[in-house]
Amino acid sequence: MLPEKIPAIFMRGGTSKALMFHRRDLPEPSEWDELFLALMGTPDPYMRQLNGMGGGVSSLSKVAILEKSKHADADIDYTFGQVMINEKKVDYSGNCGNISSAVGPFAVAEGLVQVTEGENTVRIFNTNTKKIIHSTFEVRNGKPVVQGSLEIPGVAGTGAPIRLDFLNPGGATTGQLLPTGNITDLIEVSNIGSVRVTMIDAANACVFVQAKEIGLQGDEFPNELNQRPEILQILEEIRLKASVKMGISKNLTEAAQIKTVPYVGFVSPAKNGVTISNMPIDATRIDLTARAISNGQPHLALPLTVSLCLGVAANMTGSVVAEVLQSPSQGQAVRIGMPSGILTVGAQVSKSPTGWEAPKGSFYRTARRLFEGCVYPHIGLENE
């Protein structure tokens, strides 16, 4: 039976929002799905989640569970859940990079870690990917600093910077940075033929295709893509077939049940354009243009872990991402033009005798506590 109410904190992390929970306040994991669905207002055939805390898009339908870590190299254990909107499903197969930025400040504010005045690093073990993330930010009077001058694309206003370092992010989903062992592969797409893709797994599994191969310019707005269901179907076909090739699923039927990974995105050379808020993007200030699909929906920005995969792939000579760069990355930060603006990602990538390696990927985000209190799960009439 669902509890009448449960303590929670509602936070923004980067360009996403999530209900954040202490593990101690939750029932057994076998009951989590039912609880999270009831709290977020899922399933909702109207795709708005008005009867819960969700916002009708994937970036606003997330949960995070935190507790003190059981691992020697971490301070916090963090589990991420992506709550579907019109399906009775919570997906734990991957992590959310944006919500990862809220974990450190949550842990400090809630007294889960010991801190000193000034800059602190919280070591986070993500249970979904079994990877370590370092979250570094300022602490003042024992609390995380919220006010600051960092502006991130897609979020109005500014905040205090939070640096996220994803350590050895390769193989988070599949166990391999390049799950097929290849920089590029071919995927057969209905009514198109063979398209070249790069399949990469860094913090989350992703598959990238060049926009021109699927009849796109590369700078289409999310609402334009929503009006072209045939393009979304092509991208979903690529995603499902990549899932099988990457070893995430055994067949296409099984792949269709996994909504979050692999992410699918398309890339194109840098070009002048505007954001969804009509702000200009100067081609000389970016290295490439990218778009991504998240849970079947064109993303209004770019999932942070997709950005990390782009940053890594941009440093791999011969990848479909590296091919669209204005000039070789050569270890420099990669500037990505996306629907909400420009996102910069740093990635350490090298090639050894045993293959490609990615020791670290880094970003800056902001995060903020929005609400704390209790949330009430929606209990249908049949349960009353």
**Nearest alpha carbon to residue 34 among 373, 375, 379, 372:** 379
**Nearest alpha carbon to residue 182 among 359, 357, 360, 355:** 355
Q: How far apart are CA 54 and CA 58, in angstroms?
A: 9
In angstroms, what is the C-alpha Rg of the chain? 20
In this prediction, residue 229 carries a pLDDT of 97
The DSSP annotation for 55-104 comes to -SSGGGSEEEEEEE-SSTT-SEEEEEEEE-SSSS-EE-SS--HHHHHHHH
Look at residue 263 and give its three-state secondary structure: strand
In this prediction, residue 26 carries a pLDDT of 98
Low-confidence ranges of the chain (pLDDT < 70): 380-384
The encoded tokens of residue 183 equal: 């920089």
Residues 320, 326, 330, 333, CA torsion sign: negative
In this prediction, residue 380 carries a pLDDT of 65
Q: What is the DSSP letter of 119?
A: E
**Nearest alpha carbon to residue 377 among 22, 89, 19:** 19
Q: How far apart are CA 326 and CA 65, in angstroms?
A: 41
Asked whether 66 and 76 are in contact (CB, 8 A), the reply is yes
Domains of the chain from N-terminus onward: 6-161+367-375 (3.10.310.10), 185-359 (3.10.310.10)
In this prediction, residue 306 carries a pLDDT of 97
SS percent in the chain: helix, strand, coil, step 5: 20, 35, 40
In this prediction, residue 384 carries a pLDDT of 41
In this prediction, residue 1 carries a pLDDT of 82
Q: Which residue in this structure is represented by tokens 């920089």? A: 183
Beta strands 62-68 and 6-13, pairing class: unpaired
Q: Kindly report the pTM of this predicted structure.
A: 0.92
> In the chain, where does DSSP find H-type helix?
32-40, 97-109, 222-226, 229-245, 252-256, 304-314
H or E segment and range at residue 367: strand 367-375
